[in-house]
């Protein structure tokens, strides 16, 4: 994917709005996923590398069981550093716009929207707010480069036996969520990553702590099997989390 590509999820039950936006977003290389409820949002965040969330203010109560102000306040902390855009009704008052921005929305756009302009606005917001902290951290490696992960290309390599002056490397095939778990561990440089750290980073809307722990242990088991010939090991600290050693 080119650098400007991004993925967004829209929280709405307005199928016409989705249809209007989807094709024009594609022209701007912005993927758009529909979430009709909290489970839909949770699944989108789990399965895709979401950069931005669009909240249709009129549908906040139906989708999230919250009014728009409560929804913005909650989502702004859960979704960071992702961009949060609110689609407001045409007659929205300036005072309401200011309040939503103060609660954590990155932008408030009145309907009816112009999809192509909306897509470009999202890209600009993501460049400023979401992607800036990630620059310079796309490729990570462990000590002695025994494990190398390229975030942009979604590739993982382990160093094999050296032959003469050459060092061979083997690509390890990871699922998207396995890659995210291992990359997060590698970012921490051997520090403990707690279950709560994983929840905030990968499953911000998840409500079941027990389910997250169970999922993590399954993922780590799979990753360990795939890294069987790599000197890097994933240690489990009981009741705390994991770390790379």
With a cut of 70, list the residues of the chain below it in pLDDT: 1-4, 130-137, 160-168
In a domain, 64, yes or no: yes
**CATH number for 169:** 1.10.10.10
Residue 2: predicted pLDDT: 41
Q: Based on the fold, state whether residues 128 and 11 are members of the same structural domain.
A: yes
Of the residues 134, 159, 193, which one is the last residue of a structural domain?
134
Residue 161: predicted pLDDT: 53
In a domain, 1, yes or no: no
Residue 203: predicted pLDDT: 86
Q: Based on the fold, state whether residues 129 and 194 are members of the same structural domain.
A: no
90 three-state secondary structure: coil
Q: What's the CA gap between 6 and 31, in Å, rounded?
A: 6
Q: Based on the fold, state whether residues 129 and 34 are members of the same structural domain.
A: yes
In a domain, 185, yes or no: yes
Q: Based on the fold, state whether residues 106 and 195 are members of the same structural domain.
A: no
Q: Based on the fold, state whether residues 11 and 97 are members of the same structural domain.
A: yes
Residue 14: predicted pLDDT: 94
Q: What's the CA gap between 233 and 49, in Å, rounded?
A: 26
Q: What's the CA gap between 123 and 24, in Å, rounded?
A: 13
Containing structural domain, residue 38: 6-134
Q: How far is CA 188 from the centre of its chain?
A: 17
Q: Based on the fold, state whether residues 30 and 125 are members of the same structural domain.
A: yes
Residue 133: predicted pLDDT: 43
Quote the number of domains for the chain: 2
Q: Based on the fold, state whether residues 63 and 165 are members of the same structural domain.
A: no
Q: Based on the fold, state whether residues 179 and 218 are members of the same structural domain.
A: yes
Residue 72: predicted pLDDT: 94
Of the residues 89, 118, 134, which one is the last residue of a structural domain?
134
Q: pLDDT, tens digit, for every residue of 181-233?
A: 999 999 988 899 999 899 888 888 777 788 889 999 999 999 999 998 888 89
Q: Based on the fold, state whether residues 172 and 110 are members of the same structural domain.
A: no
Of the residues 87, 103, 134, which one is the last residue of a structural domain?
134
Residue 143: predicted pLDDT: 77
Answer yes or no: pTM beyond 0.85. Answer: no
Q: Based on the fold, state whether residues 25 and 104 are members of the same structural domain.
A: yes
Q: Based on the fold, state whether residues 15 and 100 are members of the same structural domain.
A: yes
Report the candidate in 48, 56, 47 with the shortest Cα–Cα distance to residue 5: 48
């Amino acid at each position: 994917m080119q650098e400007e590509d991004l993925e967004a999820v829209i929280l709405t039950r307005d199928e016409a709005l989705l249809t209007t936006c989807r094709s024009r977003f594609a022209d701007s290389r912005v993927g758009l996923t529909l979430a009709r409820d909290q489970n839909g949002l949770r699944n989108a965040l789990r399965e895709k590398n979401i950069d931005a969330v669009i909240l249709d203010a009129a549908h906040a109560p139906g989708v999230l069981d919250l009014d728009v102000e409560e929804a913005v306040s909650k989502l702004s902390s859960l979704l960071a550093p992702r961009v949060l855009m609110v689609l407001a009704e045409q007659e929205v008052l300036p005072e309401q716009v200011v309040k939503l921005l103060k609660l954590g929305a990155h932008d408030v756009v009145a309907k009816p929207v112009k999809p192509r302009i909306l897509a470009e606005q999202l890209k600009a917001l993501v460049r400023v707010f979401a992607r800036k902290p990630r620059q310079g951290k796309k490729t990570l490696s462990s000590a002695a480069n025994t494990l190398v992960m390229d975030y942009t290309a979604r590739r993982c390599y382990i160093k094999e036996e050296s032959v003469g002056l050459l060092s061979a490397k083997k690509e390890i095939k990871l699922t998207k969520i396995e890659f995210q778990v291992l990359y997060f561990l590698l970012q921490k440089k051997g520090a403990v990553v707690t279950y709560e750290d994983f929840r905030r980073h990968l499953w911000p809307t998840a409500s079941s702590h027990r389910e997250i722990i169970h999922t993590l242990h399954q993922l780590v088991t799979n990753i360990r099997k795939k890294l069987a010939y790599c000197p890097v090991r994933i240690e489990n600290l009981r009741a705390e989390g994991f770390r790379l050693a």
